[in-house]
Amino acid sequence: MATTLSEAYRDHPLHLHQIIPLDFSSIRTLPDSHAWPHTEEDDDDNDHGAGSCIPIIDLMDPNAMELIGLACEKWGAFQLKNHGIPLTVIEEVEIEAKRLFALPADRKLKALRSAVGATGYGRARISPFFPKHMWHEGFTIVGSPCDDAKKIWPNDHPRFCEKMENYQKQMKVLAEKLTHMIFKILGIKEEEKKWVGSTKHSEAIQLNSYPCCPEPNRAMGLAPHTDTSLLTILHQSQTSGLQILKEGAGWVPVHPHPNTLVVNTGDILHILSNSRFRCALHRVMVNSARQRYSVAYFYSPPLDYVVSPFVLDDSFLPRFRPLSVKDYIGVKAKNLRGALSLISTI
């Protein structure tokens, strides 16, 4: 039985050409391999003001829990201020991400994710499901970042490791706080949430870079996806690009606000809540003027945890069949967009 995310992904190898990113520093025109077909919904101006934006919630607000519940039901996402993570911790991680992605391609490729690996430098794991390549490079951390960082900076990796490990520690605390609130909203019993706050959870950090693009309207930063996690906490640099699909409203931008983190619910919370909470389909658009960065922290139950909708009363009808986190990762590795339907009972 796999006990770590790395082991879970080992069973689902990718081909190396699905992992190696383009050397964006040398490209002046958009290659056909990176030109995405244009859709009509891309033309819509979905920036209609506050009413169509994901809510900004103050964690110190006495009504924060209720507001989080409403946001998860309506959007599957919200922006969080007064989250308790020191600004310096976030700034330092952004500096390290910029330092990493600014390196020449041959240095970054020293830490290329292997075909059976979960960690390291490379294209997004979802890449094989799309006919075109994304204008994106990523660095995935599962467990300690040091082995991969050492390959890139043989003598100068401790700074990167320290900043990432500190970020991971702080994010875990925030994720636990949010999970407790969310489980309270869902009326979840004590024995079902014992893993929260223990060391048994699964977690990963994804550093994302979206280089300036010569033809941003024909490119895609990160293709539409939902996160597999229970919840994801995202720091985005002060450059727009993230969009969330909202029924009836199309792709809605999530503009960055200073000192604010984006929180989105993932597939696992969607299942546990029996579809009460949305899992937001999201994507990232690129631009020609500014390189964009983001840092995503994914928080999930342990890999052997059986994910099944929380039973609330005798008349409760579960919409999903129970399966372990590891098995759900397996289902999604084979069928990205259809995974939730494949485990649906209705």
Active site residue 28: no
Stretch touching ligand AKG by CB under 6 A, among 50-58, 113-121, 190-198, 234-242: 234-242
Q: How far is the CB of 155 from ligand L37FFZMX (least distance, A)?
A: 27
Contacting residue, 140, 168, 236, 300, with ligand AKG by CB under 6 A: 236
Region for residue 212 given its phi and psi (left: phi exceeds 0; alpha: psi -120 to 50; beta: otherwise): beta
Q: Does 8 bind ligand AKG (CB under 6 A)?
A: no
Contacting residue, 18, 206, 273, 300, with ligand AKG by CB under 6 A: 206
Contact predicate 304/325, CB 8 Å: yes
Q: How far is the CB of 227 from Fe ion (least distance, A)?
A: 4
Contacting residue, 202, 294, 300, 324, with ligand AKG by CB under 6 A: 294
Q: Does 242 bind ligand AKG (CB under 6 A)?
A: yes
Q: Which does 236 bind (CB under 5 to 8 A by kind): ligand L37FFZMX, ligand AKG, Fe ion, none?
A: ligand AKG
Q: Does 227 bind Fe ion (CB under 5 A)?
A: yes
Q: Does 226 bind ligand AKG (CB under 6 A)?
A: no
Contacting residue, 68, 109, 272, 296, with ligand AKG by CB under 6 A: 296
Q: Does 57 bind ligand AKG (CB under 6 A)?
A: no
CA separation, residue 49 to residues 54, 79, 154, 237, 318 (Å): 10, 15, 48, 21, 37
Q: Which does 209 bind (CB under 5 to 8 A by kind): Fe ion, ligand L37FFZMX, ligand AKG, none?
A: none
Q: How far is the CB of 121 from Fe ion (least distance, A)?
A: 18
User: Per-residue b/e over 9-19, b at no fewer than 16 CB within 10 Å?
Assistant: beeeebeeebb
Residue of 292, 319, 321, 337 marked catalytic = 292
Q: How far is the CB of 225 from Fe ion (least distance, A)?
A: 6
Contact predicate 307/324, CB 8 Å: yes
Report the interface residues with Fe ion, using CB under 5 A: 227
- Catalytically active residues are 292
Report the interface residues with ligand AKG, using CB under 6 A: 206, 208, 222, 227, 234, 236, 242, 282, 284, 294, 296
